[in-house]
Amino acid sequence: MLPMEIENRSMEIIESELRVELDEEIKPIVKRVIHATADFSFAETMRFTPGIVNLMRNMLKNGATVVTDTNMALAGISKSALSKLGAKALCFVADEDVAKEAKQRGVTRSYVSMERALKIRGPKLLVCGNAPTFLLSLLEISQENGLPEDTAVVGVPVGFVNVVEAKEKLWQSGLPCIAAMGRRGGSNVAAAIVNALLYGIEGVRA
C-alpha cells in the first residue's frame, strides 16, 4: 500500500472504533492525534475553546508564525504545508543566545523563548508539546501584561511535574486554545494538531 492509502485506511479504522461523539469541526484534529498515538483516550481529554479550529486555520492562512517549545515538535510539522500558506515555524529554546540570556537572568530558556515569541509581529500560534514551563511562562507574562493579541495556543505537554496544572491554568486563562487535559500529550501530539489544522485548509495537501 502507498503511504496515503495506509493513512486513509488508518483513519477509517479510527472512525469505526471511535466511541465518543465528536463535533465535525474538531473530529479531524482528534483523529489525527489518535493516528499519531494509537491512543483513543484523546477523544475524551482534548478540549477546544469555541471556534478555535476556524480561528487557527484563518491565522495560518494569514501567514501565522508557529513557535514550538521543542525542536522535536518543530520537526514534526509539515514545512511544505506551511510554505503554501506563507506561514513559518520556529523554535528558540535551543538557541545559544537564549540559553546565555536565561542563565544571566536566572530564568528558564522557555521564559526567554516565550518573550521572543510574543514580540513577533502578526498572528502567532504557540505550540507546547513537552515543556509545561513554556505554557507557564506565557501565563505569567500574560498576567503581567494582559492577554496577547492575535495569539492562540496548542497546549499538550506530557509528563508528571506541573503538566496537569499548566493545562488547567491555560484552559482557565481566556486564551484561545486546544489542550489535552491530564498527563498525556507530547511533541508528536502537538505536531499532529498543527498538521491537522494545515491539512484541513483547501489546497494545502493537493
The count of other CB atoms within 10 Å of the CB of residue 68 is 31
Catalytic status, residue 35 = yes
| 206 residues of the chain, pLDDT tens digit each | 888 899 999 999 999 999 999 999 999 999 999 999 999 999 999 999 999 999 999 999 999 999 999 999 999 999 999 999 999 999 999 999 999 999 999 999 999 999 999 999 999 999 999 999 999 999 999 999 999 999 999 999 999 999 999 999 999 999 999 999 999 999 999 999 999 999 999 999 86
pLDDT score of 1: 80
Contact 33, 10 (CB under 8 A): no
Sheet containing strand 124-128, edge to edge, reads: 46-48, 177-180, 151-155, 124-128, 65-68, 88-90
pLDDT at 2: 82
H or E element that contains 65: strand 65-68
pLDDT value of position 125? 98
pLDDT at 206: 65
Give the type of residue at 85: L
Q: What are the beta bridge partners of residue 12?
A: none
Tell me the domains of the chain and their CATH numbers.
3-199 (3.40.50.10230)
Local structure of residue 93 (DSSP, 8 states): T
Selecting among 18, 26, 35, 84, the annotated active-site residue is: 35
Q: For residue 21, what is its C-alpha cell?
A: 461523539
Residue 43 is predicted with a pLDDT of 98
